[in-house]
Amino acid sequence: MPSLAEELLEVVSEHPEGWNDFAKSLRVSLDLEQALHDVTLPTDTVEILVRATWKIVAEADIAFYHKLLSGKVAFPLSELFAYLLRTADAHLNVVTTNYDRVAEYAANNVGAYASTGLTSGWLQRFVAATVVNERPPSPGYEGMVSILKVHGSLDWFRDSTGDVIAVPAAQEIPRELKPLVVTPGVTKYREVHKDPFRTVMSAADAVLRTATCYVCIGYGFNDEHVQPILVSRVLKNDVPVVIITKELTVQTRNAFLDRPPKHFLFIEESSCGTKVYTPTDPFGVVLDGVSLWQLHDFVKMVTGDYGDKTCRFLIIVSVMQLATYIAETPAQPS
């Protein structure tokens, strides 16, 4: 997350205890998680870091929301949700490490109900039972998307009594409330043992254990809380996995390409266009002049709207192989 790292270095100017060593590590690596592992920050400094992170992400989130309302932004994630809700399952499960509300916007943008484990309204409460057992939405919704935010959300806060509440579309951190976003590093392992994170993580484990296909968008496979079940089921149970990303991380390559799974489709950027990995080409094939690693082009390819018919044929072969396997059991993408 280099852009967030760079912004944190600019935003935090008061240099609290431990910050100088942390900033030095961060400038070298631009890897927030690595810097937080290398340098142990005092609790007060972690609190400053959390609040600064919240403000940076919230500003970008609200800017996107305003563009969405004005109709001036493409929204491929929303198009993907619409396609999956129509063709795969009327109830999608999304596991995300992101704090932003983009998944919620994408669900609502196509008329689906977005379930995050909180009550509705302007002062929301966390209800653990709804994380696992959300009731079907009221008439008028086009399906349901359960969004499991394992590292927290911009909407989530803890009050002075320790209760979890949510303030929808907050543009500033309310006074006397603590934002519930878990930054990378050693403090993450303390926070995830408390609610809402404990309940949400348990629910994420449950859907990862039962999903019949995984679609991973921009995920780097560097979170030990999220991927073990997914990786194990892909390798041991032949569950299909699709990964679309700008660059396959070292962790992704180590998890899958050293010993390629039976059913997979990986797409990343190459210097000439797009590089595609499949069971028949586990070392990758370069497709010149196309950008299928970008989500909007991938969605066009899947839905049949991509302009390059030759390119589409090359990729659809793998997609159809996956689809044939998935069709054997009721699909519930995660």
Domain residues for 218? 211-334
pLDDT at position 329 is: 40
| C-alpha–C-alpha distance, residues 78 and 106, integer Å | 4
| Residue 264 maps to a domain | yes
pLDDT at position 321 is: 46
**In this structure, are residues 134 and 94 in contact, taking their beta carbons and an 8 Å threshold?**
no
Q: Band of the pLDDT at 38, cuts 50, 70, 90?
A: confident
Nearest to 127 by CA among 136, 138, 116, 141: 116
| Residue 306 maps to a domain | yes
| C-alpha–C-alpha distance, residues 58 and 64, integer Å | 10
Helix locations, the chain, DSSP H: 2-11, 19-29, 32-38, 43-70, 76-87, 102-109, 128-132, 186-191, 197-210, 227-236, 250-252, 295-303, 309-326
Phi-psi region of 152 (alpha: psi -120 to 50; beta: other; left: phi over 0): left
Token digits of residue 319 = 């997609």
- Residue 157 DSSP code: E
Q: Considering its fold, how many domains does the chain have in total?
A: 1
Q: How far is CA 85 from the centre of its chain?
A: 18
**In this structure, are residues 56 and 172 in contact, taking their beta carbons and an 8 Å threshold?**
no
Distances (CA, A) of 183 to 12, 146, 176: 15, 23, 20
For residue 282, the tally of other CB atoms under 10 A from its CB is 15
pLDDT at position 94 is: 93
**In this structure, are residues 261 and 235 in contact, taking their beta carbons and an 8 Å threshold?**
yes
More confident residue, 100 or 132: 100
More confident residue, 232 or 308: 232
Residues 281-299: tens digit of each pLDDT: 999 999 888 888 999 999 9
| C-alpha–C-alpha distance, residues 2 and 30, integer Å | 5
- Tokens 């390059």 locate to 308
pLDDT at position 112 is: 95
Residues 147-184: tens digit of each pLDDT: 999 999 999 999 999 999 999 989 999 999 999 998 87
Among 140-154, 187-201, 211-225, the range with the most confident prediction by mean pLDDT is: 140-154
For every residue of 213-267, DSSP letters joined together read: -EEEES--S--TTTHHHHHHHHHHS---EEEE-SS--HHHIIIIISS--SSEEEE
Token digits of residue 163 = 């209760």
At residue 208, does pLDDT exceed 90? Answer: yes
Residues 310-333: tens digit of each pLDDT: 544 444 444 444 444 444 444 444
| Residue 313 maps to a domain | yes
Does the model's pTM come out above 0.85? yes
Mean residue pLDDT of the chain comes to 85
| Residue 127 maps to a domain | no
The pLDDT of 265-282, averaged and rounded, is: 93
| Residue 79 maps to a domain | no
| Residue 275 maps to a domain | yes
| Residue 169 maps to a domain | no
Residue 218 CB contacts under 8 Å (≥ 6 apart), including other chains: 244, 245, 246
| Residue 327 maps to a domain | yes
